[in-house]
């Protein structure tokens, strides 16, 4: 099942994607659950699953997509989680998952513009697999971790590399720099999340290609580790790290600029595409 959040005629909603159309679950369920995160919090997934046989109410092209979870409680990201990316940075392998946080106002949905801020020319791309948590948990074991996953999406951890040198928080949290979408594919439709192809393109040219099997820390490792320091809640987003090929490590560096288009494609999920505009 593919689920989306969207704006239609200025009204927020959510639904189930069927082909090129959307079944408007929000219209049917809004009196009880106003958004997709509320559905997850309430454990009401059966309500969504029951709509998979319904006819679409309108086309995907008739709405403006939102980040699949527009209002996550937490956005947590893993740094240096592909051996090839660690190698290109010249750093040592991390002794444990390296975690940092993003703010919700950094998120940009599929089709909307990533903003290159006026204070930096060093805007870099990082294609990543995003994990969306489906139920609450603390001190989750690696053996149980995957049962806490609702689904998966594409993520672009847009980074301002000059700011990142003196502050990871600043470099990773500029307004509207993190692409997220276009939808969530539920975990039952992804056979093995540790064998997904990930490709990033800038203006149609491939700049990153890897597979999630190349992660240093697996999804169960990451979920278990994070749950030790913070309770995970439904709708939380975990970006699982980027492979080699980032712009900062190229000669010369390859930065994103006004007029560019960046895409992150993950097998079994889809393509997240964002134009770049100047602030």
84-109, pLDDT tens digit by residue? 888 888 888 888 999 999 999 999 99
Model pLDDT, residue 114 = 98
The confidence band for 122, taking pLDDT boundaries of 50, 70 and 90, is very high
Model pLDDT, residue 197 = 98
HSE-up of 16 (CA within 13 Å, CB side)? 20
If you average pLDDT over residues 238-266, what whole number do you get? Answer: 97
- In whole angstroms, how far apart are CA 47 and each of 16, 78, 130, 163? 11, 32, 24, 44
Q: Is the dihedral of CA 169, 173, 179, 184 positive or negative?
A: positive
Model pLDDT, residue 141 = 98
Model pLDDT, residue 83 = 87
pLDDT in tens, 1-53: 999 999 999 999 999 999 999 999 999 998 899 999 999 999 999 999 999 99
pLDDT in tens, 194-209: 999 999 999 999 999 9
For the chain, the average pLDDT equals 96
Token pair listed for 279: 């602030």
Model pLDDT, residue 93 = 81
Query: The pTM is what?
Result: 0.97
All structural domains of the chain? 2-65 (no CATH), 75-278 (3.90.850.10)
Model pLDDT, residue 128 = 98
The confidence band for 237, taking pLDDT boundaries of 50, 70 and 90, is very high
Model pLDDT, residue 86 = 84
* Three-state secondary structure readout of the chain: CEEEEEEECCEEEEEEEECCEEECHHHHHCCCCCCHHHHHHHCCHHHHHCCCCCCCCEEHHHCEECCCCCCCCCEEEEECCEHHHHHHHCCCCCCCCEEEEECHHHEECCCCCEEECCCCCCEECCEEEEEEECCCECCCCCCCHHHHEEEEEEEEECEEHHHHHHCHHHHCCCCCCEEEEEEEEEHHHCCCHHHCEEEEEECCEEEEEEEHHHECCCHHHHHHHHHHHCCECCCCEEECCCCCCCHHHCCCCCCCCCCCEEEEEECCCEEEEEEEEEC
If you average pLDDT over residues 99-121, what whole number do you get? Answer: 98
Backbone angles phi, psi at 199, to 5 degrees: -130, 135
Q: Is the pLDDT of residue 79 over 90?
A: yes
Model pLDDT, residue 226 = 98
If you average pLDDT over residues 168-193, what whole number do you get? Answer: 97
Q: Is the pLDDT of residue 126 over 90?
A: yes
């Amino acid at each position: 099942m593919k689920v989306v959040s969207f704006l239609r005629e200025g009204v927020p909603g959510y639904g189930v994607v069927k082909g090129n159309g959307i079944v408007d679950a929000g219209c049917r369920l809004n009196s009880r659950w106003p958004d997709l995160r509320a559905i997850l919090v309430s454990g009401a997934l059966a309500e969504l699953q029951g709509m998979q046989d319904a006819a679409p109410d309108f086309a995907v092209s008739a709405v403006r997509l939102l980040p699949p979870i527009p209002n996550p409680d937490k956005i947590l990201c893993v740094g240096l989680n592909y051996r090839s990316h660690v190698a290109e940075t010249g750093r040592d392998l991390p002794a444990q998952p390296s975690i940092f946080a993003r703010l919700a106002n950094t998120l940009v949905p599929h089709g909307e513009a990533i903003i290159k801020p006026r204070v930096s020319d060093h805007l870099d791309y990082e294609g990543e697999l995003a994990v969306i948590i489906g139920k609450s948990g603390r001190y989750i074991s690696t053996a149980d971790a995957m049962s806490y996953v609702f689904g998966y999406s594409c993520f672009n951890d847009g980074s301002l590399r000059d700011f990142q040198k003196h502050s990871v928080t600043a470099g990773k949290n500029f307004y509207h720099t993190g692409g997220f979408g276009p939808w969530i594919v539920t975990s039952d439709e992804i056979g093995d999340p540790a064998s997904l192809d990930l490709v990033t393109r800038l203006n149609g040219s491939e700049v990153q290609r890897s597979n999630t099997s190349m992660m240093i820390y697996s999804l169960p490792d990451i979920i278990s580790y994070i749950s030790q320091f913070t309770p995970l809640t439904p709708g939380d987003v975990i970006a699982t790290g980027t492979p080699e090929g980032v712009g900062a490590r190229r000669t010369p560096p390859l930065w994103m600029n006004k007029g560019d288009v960046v895409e992150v494609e993950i097998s079994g999920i889809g393509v997240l595409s964002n134009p770049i505009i100047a602030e």
